[in-house]
């Protein structure tokens, strides 16, 4: 496992350049999970078969994501799920590529954006009144959406040192004071990092935390007061 990883600098570059984003994801995976290896991606034949079935061409960014880490469930499917190429489908004017774990939300690319190498992304929430459902803007680039996906899925990894805390202003202030805020990625999210710790703060309501060691997670619990779910 990589012993050092400058997440702040790497994320800053990743959000402005697709090649840098793939380098960031590779380094992030090596540091927080395990390195990317041959076979972690889908095959070109699988991607091409999906395109033939759907009668469309996938954006370059989505093709590249599948080819690099499409089979890495620990990066793409701990909570929400990146659909396999054979599971991709079109709904109400968008190509759906990711689904929430209970089918309550969906992420996609508007069909009119598919001819772009780097399209924006949209998200749709499942509502009781389906007539009110709308595709809403998510990330301005598909690559940024992939970066957010990998970071979120790693924070929610069942096999790691993870915890969850419902928060109020006091706890958020402690996180802001003790940890470095990362460049923004993901609607309604803020990210913070510290020594062996990664934190996702969601709309001021809760934080999800991932640590590289049990000791690091325990230090976080001691530093940030509250009723930690696993503490």
Same domain, yes or no: 171 and 125 = no
Asked if 101 and 192 sit in the same domain, the reply is no
- Distance, in Å, from the CA atom of 216 to the CA atom of 189, rounded to the nearest integer, reads 22
Q: Does the residue 231 lie in any domain?
A: no
In this structure, is residue 44 part of a structural domain?
A: yes
Residue 110 shares a structural domain with residue 58 = yes
Last residue of a domain, one of 151, 178, 206: 151
**pLDDT by residue (tens digit) across 124-175?**
998 777 777 899 999 999 999 999 999 999 999 888 899 999 999 999 999 9
Locus of tokens 């992420």: 107
User: Which residues touch 83 (CB under 8 Å, ≥6 apart)?
Assistant: 89, 96, 97, 98, 99
pLDDT category of residue 1 using cuts at 50, 70 and 90: very low
What's the DSSP call for residue 3?
Answer: S
CATH number at residue 103: 3.40.1580.10
What average pLDDT score do residues 92-101 get? 96
Asked whether residue 127 falls in the same domain as residue 185, the answer is no
Largest CA distance in the chain: 54
pLDDT at 110 over 80: yes
Domain boundary among 131, 151, 171: 151
Strand partners of residue 166 = 206
If one counts the domains in the chain, the total is: 2
Mean residue pLDDT across the chain: 95
Query: What pLDDT score was predicted for residue 2?
Result: 56
Tell me whether residue 1 is in a domain.
no
């Amino acid at each position: 496992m990589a012993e050092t990883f400058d997440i702040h600098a790497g994320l800053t570059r990743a959000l402005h350049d697709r090649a840098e984003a793939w380098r960031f994801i590779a380094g992030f995976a090596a540091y927080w999970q395990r390195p990317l290896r041959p076979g972690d991606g889908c095959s070109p034949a699988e991607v091409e078969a999906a395109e033939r079935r759907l009668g469309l061409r996938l954006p370059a960014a989505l093709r590249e994501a599948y080819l690099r880490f499409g089979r890495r469930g620990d990066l793409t499917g701990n909570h929400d799920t990146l659909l396999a190429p054979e599971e991709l489908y079109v709904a109400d004017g968008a190509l759906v590529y990711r689904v929430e774990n209970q089918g309550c939300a969906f992420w996609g690319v508007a069909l009119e954006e598919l001819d772009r190498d780097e399209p924006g992304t949209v998200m749709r929430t499942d509502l009781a009144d389906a007539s009110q459902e709308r595709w809403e803007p998510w990330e301005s680039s598909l690559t940024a959406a992939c970066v957010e996906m990998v970071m979120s899925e790693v924070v929610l990894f069942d096999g790691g040192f993870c915890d969850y805390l419902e928060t109020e202003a006091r706890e958020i202030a402690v996180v802001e004071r003790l940890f470095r805020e990362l460049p923004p990625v993901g609607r309604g999210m803020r990210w913070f990092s510290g020594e062996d710790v990664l934190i996702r703060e969601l709309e001021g309501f809760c934080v999800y935390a991932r640590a590289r060691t049990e000791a690091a997670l325990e230090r976080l619990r001691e530093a940030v007061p509250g009723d930690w779910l696993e503490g």
